[in-house]
């Protein structure tokens, strides 16, 4: 009797995945804001705590299921996958554009583009040099790992385009994920040091860091009002990386290796 | 006809629909741009969508059509931004990141330090921008609000 009842509820909840996600994330936000005011007197942003809690949950979920999508791999939390997936994330990012001050964004446009290009080229060559230091000598592997240092999407797309092995592609994805996670966690901490407090600085930040997940979470944890400016440049980053990494940048690596 | 369109603009769905339209159009244009450039990825779809939404807002405002409904529908999703980002964080492959080995950890950490430093350098080169606090203080002053403790909730 009770078993049958529980069965029915479990069955019902299967169809309510997104609502479970709303309730759970609401709970995380509430706990985070509570910790922010009570433990840190508001010095650490509630959203920064919430994002770190989210990452901790993702670690727990990944360890428990052996999957690659954090808590979203747990059947009853699959709604987290929809709520935090690309569709709703991009939808919410676009919505923040309503708050953009056009004149200010235009004035920062040029320096934002410079950041965008540097933010692609510098990480690529940094990752490539590191791959060299770790003993890789072929242009394809070196370029794929370098592309992973741009973002975790540029890495595998570049690897697939120039014919890298799956182990190297996995390395490049992991490098990009580490980058995104570090940006999420450390942006609010370093924000005062790098003067991340103006729309212009946010546009530079978005172009330079690139990773949309890292930038969107990092700015959310620093100052919600900076989000649209950072997102505006960051969303062009992956496209630019996918354009440059398997072409010009790969050719440069190949020329440097003399092959 | 006139009255009916104003009725629609009063509804929250008009803002949500506008947002969806801009998002879809932006993604399609980003996909086409990627195709034209020969790239296997969407090039700036979200950024283009943001520009479309900004243009739409200016256009509606100029015509006096920027209604409460439109604002409500868009702000609803803008205000869900942080919770959505938290859900995004909860589905990252953190296990793989931690188990990635020295190359992965050194690569990720090094590139983040490098990029943070470059943000500081470029910020210095570009000169100091007006901070978001200063902007809001000035706008409040312009609007004639005297109470400095009144802050819009982020």
Length of chain A in terms of residues written:
259
What's the CA gap between A15 and A259, in Å, rounded? 56
Residue B147's pLDDT is 52
Closest CA to A144 of A122, A169, A170: A169
Distance (Å, whole) CA A37 – CA B77: 25
pLDDT band per the 50, 70, 90 thresholds, residue A189: very high
Radius of gyration of chain A (CA): 20
B116 touching A (Cβ < 8 Å):
yes
pLDDT tens, position by position, A190-248: 999 999 999 999 999 999 998 888 998 999 999 999 999 999 898 888 888 888 898 89
B75 touches A at CB < 8 Å: yes
pTM for the full predicted model: 0.82
Q: Are A136 and A145 in contact (CB under 8 A)?
A: yes
**Which has the higher per-residue pLDDT, A103 or B27?**
B27
Q: Which of B101, B111, B154 sits opposite A224 (nearest CB)?
A: B154
Cα torsion through A14, A16, A19, A21, rounded to 10: 20
DSSP string, A162-213: HT--HHHHHHHHHHHHHHHHHHHHHHHHHTTTTT--SHHHHHHHHHHH--HH
- Kindly list the residues from chain B whose CB atom is less than 8 angstroms away from the CB atom of residue A104: 130, 135
pLDDT at A24: 96
Label residue B34 by pLDDT band (50, 70, 90). confident
Question: Which residues, including other chains, have CB under 8 Å from residue A200's CB and lie 6 or more apart?
Answer: A104, A107, A108, A111, A229, B123, B126, B129
Give which of A227, A230, A226, A222 is closest to A43, Cα–Cα: A222
Which residues in chain A have Cβ-Cβ distances shorter than 8 Å to B70? none
Determine the distance in angstroms separating the CA of B42 from the nearest CA of chain A, rounded to an integer: 6
- Give pLDDT, residue B1: 37
Distance from CA of A35 to the nearest CA of B (A): 16
Closest CB to B97: pick one of A98, A127, A174. Answer: A174
Q: What is the model's pLDDT at position B6?
A: 60
The average confidence (pLDDT) of chain B is: 85
Distances (CA, A) of B9 to A103, B70, B72: 27, 6, 11
Angle of the A227-234 helix axis to the A86-96 helix axis, nearest 10: 120
- The tens digit of pLDDT for each residue in A119-132 reads 999 999 999 999 99
Collect all residues of chain B within an 8 Å Cβ-Cβ radius of residue A100.
50, 54
**Structure confidence by residue, pLDDT tens digits, A14-65:** 889 999 999 999 999 999 999 999 988 877 888 889 999 999 999 999 999 9
Nearest to B132 among A179, A199, A231 (CB): A199
Binning chain A into helix, strand and coil, the percentages to the nearest 5 are 80, 0, 20
Q: What is the pLDDT of residue B2?
A: 43
Residue of B nearest to A54 (CA): B90
Model confidence at A109: pLDDT above 90: no
For the residues of B121-149, what is the DSSP string, one character each?
Answer: HHHHHH-PPPPHHHHHHHHHHHHT---TT
Calculate the alpha carbon distances from B81 to A9, A46, A187, B124 in Å.
30, 14, 17, 30
pLDDT of residue B154: 44
* Calpha distance A203→A86 (Å, rounded): 21
What pLDDT digit, counting tens, does each position of A151-188 carry?
A: 988 998 899 888 888 889 888 989 998 999 999 999 99
List of chain B residues whose C-beta atoms are within 8 Å of the C-beta of residue A148: 107
In this prediction, residue A101 carries a pLDDT of: 82
pLDDT at B27: 92
Determine the Cα–Cα distance for residues B34 and A5; give it in Å rounded to an integer.
52
Comparing CA positions, the residue from A70, A65, A63 lying closest to residue A28 is A70
Nearest to A92 among B77, B102, B133 (CB): B77
Percent of chain B with pLDDT over 90: 46
Mind listing the pLDDT tens digit for each residue in B71-115? 999 999 999 988 999 999 999 888 888 887 899 999 999 999 999
Question: B92 and A181: CB-CB below 8 Å?
Answer: yes
> Chain A closest CA to B97's CA: distance in Å?
5
In the 8-state DSSP scheme, what is residue A85?
A: S
Return the pLDDT at A40: 83
User: What are the tokens at A14?
Assistant: 């299967």
Beta-carbon separation of A70 and B97 below 8 A: no
**Ranges of each domain in chain B:** 1-92, 93-154
Of the candidates A53, A88, A198, which has its C-beta nearest B130's C-beta?
A: A198
**Residue range B54-67: average pLDDT?**
92
């Amino acid at each position: 009797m009770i078993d049958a009842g529980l069965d029915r509820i479990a069955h019902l909840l299967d169809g309510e995945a997104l609502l479970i996600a709303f309730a759970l994330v609401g709970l995380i936000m509430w706990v985070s804001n509570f910790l922010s005011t009570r433990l840190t007197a508001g010095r650490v942003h509630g959203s920064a705590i919430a994002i770190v809690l989210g990452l901790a949950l993702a670690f727990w979920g990944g360890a428990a299921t052996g999957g690659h999508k954090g808590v979203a791999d747990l059947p009853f939390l699959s709604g987290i996958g929809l709520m935090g997936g690309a569709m709703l994330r991009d939808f919410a990012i676009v919505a923040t554009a309503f708050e953009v001050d056009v004149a200010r964004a235009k004035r920062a446009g040029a320096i934002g583009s410079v950041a965008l290009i540097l933010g692609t080229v510098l990480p690529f060559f940094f990752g490539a040099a590191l791959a060299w230091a770790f003993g890789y000598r072929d242009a394809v592997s070196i370029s794929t790992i370098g592309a992973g240092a741009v973002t975790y999407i540029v890495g595998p797309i570049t690897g697939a385009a120039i014919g890298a092995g799956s182990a190297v592609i996995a390395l490049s994805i992991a490098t990009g994920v580490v980058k995104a996670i570090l940006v999420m966690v450390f942006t609010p901490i370093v924000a005062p040091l790098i003067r991340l407090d103006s729309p212009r600085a946010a546009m530079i930040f978005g172009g330079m860091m690139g990773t949309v997940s890292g930038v969107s979470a990092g700015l959310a944890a620093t100052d919600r009002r900076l989000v649209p400016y950072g997102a505006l440049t960051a969303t062009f980053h992956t496209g630019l990386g996918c354009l440059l990494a398997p072409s010009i940048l790969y050719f440069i690596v190949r020329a440097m290796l003399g092959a | 006809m006139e009255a009916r369109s104003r009725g629609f603009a009063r509804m929250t769905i008009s803002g949500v629909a506008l947002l969806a339209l801009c998002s879809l159009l932006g993604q399609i244009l980003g996909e086409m741009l990627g195709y034209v450039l020969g790239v296997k990825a969407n090039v700036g779809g979200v950024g283009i969508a943001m520009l479309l939404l900004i243009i739409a807002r200016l256009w509606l405002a100029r015509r006096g059509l920027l209604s409460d409904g439109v604002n409500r529908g868009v702000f609803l999703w803008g205000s869900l931004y942080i919770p959505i980002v938290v859900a995004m964080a909860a589905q990252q492959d953190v296990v793989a990141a931690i188990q990635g080995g020295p190359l992965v950890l050194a690569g990720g950490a090094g590139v983040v330090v490098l990029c943070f430093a470059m943000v500081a350098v470029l910020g210095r080169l570009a000169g100091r921008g007006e901070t978001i606090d200063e902007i809001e203080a000035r706008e409040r002053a312009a609007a004639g609000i005297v109470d400095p403790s009144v802050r819009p909730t982020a």
